[in-house]
Amino acid sequence: MLRCCCGILLSIGVFLGQVWSSEWLKPNFHGFISQTFLKTTKRDFLIKDSSRGSFQYSEMGLNISGAPEARYRYSLQTLFREFGEEGDFEPTLDFGFFDARVTEQFGVRVGKVRMPLGSQNEFRDVDPGRITLLPQQSVYPESFRPLMISVLGLDVYGHKELSGFGEANVRLFGGSIGIRDDFFFTQRIRSSFNSPNTEIDGRRVGGAWLGWESPDGNFLAHASFALMSGSISLETSDMFSGNLAVTVPVTMDKAFSLDVATYIYGFEYRRGDWCLSAEYNHFQPSTKYSEDLKNQVVGVIGGPFPLGDEVVNGSDDSYAWYLELTYDHPGPLGGAISYSDYISNKARPSSDPSNHREAITFSLRYDVSEHLIAKAEFHRFSGRAAFKTFATNNNSDENWTLSAFRMSYSF
């Protein structure tokens, strides 16, 4: 722990010193520290051993931004995060980009840019900007955050006034995702295939966001999508030993292909201090064995490839939606109530408790001071479906709860 704290302080000191030394950059410094406590009943969710209560959800971020000229600005954030077994407070460039507004209606961001997916993804880590503690887990699963949060590449944006019919906004983005060894997704694949050195390549990512805002600014409709194409390496001595009573050693850079498509549609309607919002998410993954892998396995076992074309559970389309009512009073107290549902495999009956997860969520936020925020949230679930690779406990009871508490300090 001491080594971790020293590393954090040293990184911050070097970072601040280098930026502060440039007068042209005119930097503004902001940061936050948050600590969350999670407690579930009857099964683990999001974090291992959450059924016992867990404090393994901590974040600290340092943000530096500036606008050296009216048409140019920059922003970057270093994040130190622990989310269960993911992160371990290692410094990560959460985002960092240079923004050039070419005209009044058109601009481009270059660097590590936020993915404009849905309405919550870009701001899911900004506690002061949200009433809720967790983003809606049906549409923005926290275990998949590293795959959704940012992309190293370009973000081209523009807007157009529609002559009294509101305003249209469009964004196009593309680049690559760096998928680290400690990410939840990587850990689950390594465990599934007994391949401790497995790596995931997410080089090709692209997508778009389209929105329409009413003339009075009270209504927003939006649609967005992201497509990722990559591959998964494999290094194991017993790929099939647990399933087919045969041992097949495999070491291959592109053992599987990985294609993921995410589509999110939604709206927001504001009236005074109230906001009604809803979103729908369609998630389409496809993980397939490569031809090279098939040929290698066939050569070892001396017979036809023993499995189908796609990895088990690798291509189950899922969908989710939520409806949320938020009250954001100018005073210190705000709250929200929402209803959501998640279907892990649209080809199976949605009434199956193992295939769906409904939730009623109550959120409460209290601004203790200008810089200190307290949040509490209660989720009552019906159904036990988990988002893709996350496995819950083998408890057959379909009714369970999650309680969460968070304190955040920002400066």
CATH number assigned to the domain covering 34-410:
2.40.160.10
Beta bridge partners of 72: 69, 100
- Would you state the pLDDT for residue 46? 85
Between 28 and 2, where is the model more confident?
28
Beta bridge partners of 328: 334
Tell me: the pLDDT tens digits for 248-303?
A: 888 888 888 888 899 999 999 999 999 999 999 998 888 888 888 888 888 888 77
Residue type at 107 in one-letter notation: G
Q: What is the pTM of this model?
A: 0.85
Examine the pLDDT at 390 and tell me if it is beyond 50: no
CA 233, CA 216: separation in Å to the nearest integer? 51
Question: Token pair of 140, please?
Answer: 């923005």
Domain limits of the chain?
34-410
Beta bridge partners of 206: 174, 227
Tell me: the pLDDT tens digits for 154-187?
A: 999 999 999 889 999 999 999 998 777 767 777 7
Give the chain's end-to-end CA distance (angstroms, integer): 24
